């Protein structure tokens, strides 16, 4: 039997799981599915917010996030699947992962916006996974059908008492993603998605993994500051010394640990003393766990995550916050 072709991946959607109405509560049953905000996201992805708490990412309209087609093929017993089919399936899987990472980075910026725009704290919802995103299809202009992977299904809506997510917060998330990209390119998407994962792990009392993730984000940011400093010090950029390819390779090699790099950044005025102390503390806690499995406390994790977001704020130039909350019930 021939395996049918798989068409390009559709638009994706996520649901705010607080849950919340976006931009205000509906005046009647029909208006709860209205689009209340639209904007152009990073990589030219149209993003739409629906009043009932769904945010739609029109990925097929972006050159960077569209595609995923897999040609049809006729399986032959004892014969390996054609290489072009295998490659197409791998590209489809990779594209799905990139989309989910994009959506989780958006959630990180959105929950940061809860603090920055709405001046409120709230626990983050679980990251989007291959089983929790929705597919979306525009039926007519401005009217989207959102459905689960098994096909059309009745979707839950916020209740009368559900809070409101301001459309300004959605707009803020979109802009913050662009600012992260403007400074860090696609690494910025990876970083904010990592921090979001750390916040979620913190909320689930997974303190060890949350701390490891937070420190990884810190180390990536330290290395970025170090790379920028080396560029500034090069005579070709107005600095005082020659940093050619071989020297840069040595300076960015294993001989220069995170401890040495952060100390050097401090000596050159790229990190203040408080941030240096916070980074040293997070690094020591990370090493103690990685090498001796010393326990990591919730306080350790909270400090490490806040250090990561504060350092990201320093690098990007726009405020990024972490939402930290966990249940203490037995």
pLDDT digits (tens, 9 = 90+) for 10-57: 999 999 998 999 999 999 888 999 999 999 999 999 999 999 999 999
Do 163 and 43 fall into the same domain? yes
Cα 168 to Cα 308: distance, rounded to the nearest angstrom = 25
Instruction: Give the residue from 248, 250, 259 showing the smallest Cα distance to 219.
Output: 259
Among the listed ranges 98-102, 111-115, 118-122, 270-274, which one has the minimum average pLDDT value?
118-122
pLDDT for 260 beyond 70 = yes
Categorize the per-residue pLDDT at 1 as very low, low, confident or very high, splitting at 50, 70 and 90: low
Instruction: Give the residue from 66, 165, 77 showing the smallest Cα distance to 120.
Output: 165
Cα 193 to Cα 42: distance, rounded to the nearest angstrom = 14
- Express as a percent the part of the chain with pLDDT over 70: 97
Would 44 be classed as within a structural domain? Answer: yes
| Cα pseudo-dihedral 144, 145, 149, 154, rounded to 10 | 140
Query: pTM of the predicted model, to two decimals?
Result: 0.92
Do 192 and 306 fall into the same domain? yes
Per-residue pLDDT reduced to its tens digit, 199-237: 999 999 999 999 999 999 999 999 999 999 999 999 999
Average pLDDT over residues 145-174: 87
Would 233 be classed as within a structural domain? Answer: yes
Would you state the pLDDT for residue 302?
Answer: 96
Q: How many domains does the chain have?
A: 2
Q: What is the mean pLDDT of the chain?
A: 92
Would 2 be classed as within a structural domain? Answer: no
Would 3 be classed as within a structural domain? Answer: no
Cα 215 to Cα 253: distance, rounded to the nearest angstrom = 19
Do 131 and 199 fall into the same domain? no
Would 226 be classed as within a structural domain? Answer: yes
Q: In the listed set 139, 171, 203, which residue is the last one of a domain according to the structure?
A: 171
Would 325 be classed as within a structural domain? Answer: no
Do 126 and 214 fall into the same domain? no
Would you state the pLDDT for residue 186?
Answer: 92
Do 68 and 158 fall into the same domain? yes
Per-residue pLDDT reduced to its tens digit, 123-153: 899 999 999 999 999 988 889 999 987 655 6
* CA dihedral sign of residues 30, 33, 35, 36: positive
Do 197 and 157 fall into the same domain? no
The tokens for 167 are 């459309």
- Express as a percent the part of the chain with pLDDT over 90: 80
Would you state the pLDDT for residue 151?
Answer: 59
Categorize the per-residue pLDDT at 2 as very low, low, confident or very high, splitting at 50, 70 and 90: low
Do 56 and 26 fall into the same domain? yes
Do 246 and 277 fall into the same domain? yes
- Which residues face 46 on adjacent strands? 40
| Cα pseudo-dihedral 65, 98, 100, 43, rounded to 10 | -40
Largest CA distance in the chain: 69
Average pLDDT over residues 45-71: 97
Domain containing residue 241: CATH number: 1.20.120
Would you state the pLDDT for residue 254?
Answer: 83
Do 157 and 300 fall into the same domain? no
Q: Give how far the C-alpha of residue 118 lies from the chain's centroid of Cα atoms, to the nearest Å.
A: 20
Cα 60 to Cα 50: distance, rounded to the nearest angstrom = 19
Average pLDDT over residues 235-241: 92
Do 121 and 226 fall into the same domain? no
pLDDT for 113 beyond 60 = yes
Cα 206 to Cα 212: distance, rounded to the nearest angstrom = 10
Place of tokens 């300004």: 168
Residue 181: left (phi > 0), alpha (psi -120 to 50), or beta? alpha
Higher pLDDT, 108 or 4: 108
Do 167 and 189 fall into the same domain? no
Average pLDDT over residues 89-108: 97
Instruction: Give the residue from 231, 213, 214, 321 showing the smallest Cα distance to 270.
Output: 231
Higher pLDDT, 322 or 5: 322
Place of tokens 């049809």: 72
pLDDT for 317 beyond 70 = yes
Q: In the listed set 144, 171, 198, which residue is the last one of a domain according to the structure?
A: 171
Cα 210 to Cα 166: distance, rounded to the nearest angstrom = 29
Would 105 be classed as within a structural domain? Answer: yes
Would 323 be classed as within a structural domain? Answer: no
Would you state the pLDDT for residue 152?
Answer: 56
Question: Which residue range(s) make up the domain with 253?
Answer: 185-316
Do 273 and 309 fall into the same domain? yes
């Amino acid at each position: 039997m021939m395996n049918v072709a798989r068409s390009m991946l559709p638009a994706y959607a996520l649901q705010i799981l607080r849950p919340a109405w976006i931009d205000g509560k509906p005046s009647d049953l029909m208006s709860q599915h209205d689009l209340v905000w639209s904007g152009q996201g990073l990589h030219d992805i149209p993003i739409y917010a629906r009043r009932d708490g769904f945010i739609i990412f029109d990925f097929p309209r972006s050159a960077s996030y569209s595609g995923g087609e897999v040609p049809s093929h006729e399986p032959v017993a004892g014969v390996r699947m054609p290489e072009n089919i295998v490659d197409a399936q791998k590209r489809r899987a990779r594209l799905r992962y990139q989309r989910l990472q994009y959506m989780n980075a958006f959630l990180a910026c959105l929950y940061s916006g809860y603090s920055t725009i709405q001046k409120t704290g709230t626990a983050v919802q679980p990251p989007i996974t291959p089983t929790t995103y929705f597919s979306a299809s525009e039926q007519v202009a401005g009217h989207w059908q959102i459905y689960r992977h098994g096909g059309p299904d009745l979707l839950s809506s916020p209740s009368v008492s559900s809070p409101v997510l301001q459309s300004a917060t959605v707009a803020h998330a979109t802009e913050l993603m662009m600012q992260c990209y403007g400074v860090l390119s696609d690494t910025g998407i990876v970083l904010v998605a990592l921090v979001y994962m750390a916040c979620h792990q913190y909320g689930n009392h997974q303190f060890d993994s949350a701390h490891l993730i937070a420190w990884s984000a810190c180390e990536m940011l330290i290395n970025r500051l170090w790379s920028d400093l080396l560029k500034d010090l090069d005579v070709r950029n107005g600095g005082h010394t020659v940093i050619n390819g071989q020297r840069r390779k040595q300076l960015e090699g294993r001989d220069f640990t995170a401890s040495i790099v952060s100390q050097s950044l401090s000596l050159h005025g790229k990190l203040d003393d408080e941030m240096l102390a916070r980074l040293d503390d997070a690094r020591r806690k990370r090493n103690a766990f990685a090498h001796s499995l010393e326990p990591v406390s919730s306080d350790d994790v909270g400090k490490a995550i806040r250090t990561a977001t504060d350092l990201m704020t320093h690098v990007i130039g726009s405020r990024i916050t972490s939402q930290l909350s966990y249940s203490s019930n037995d």
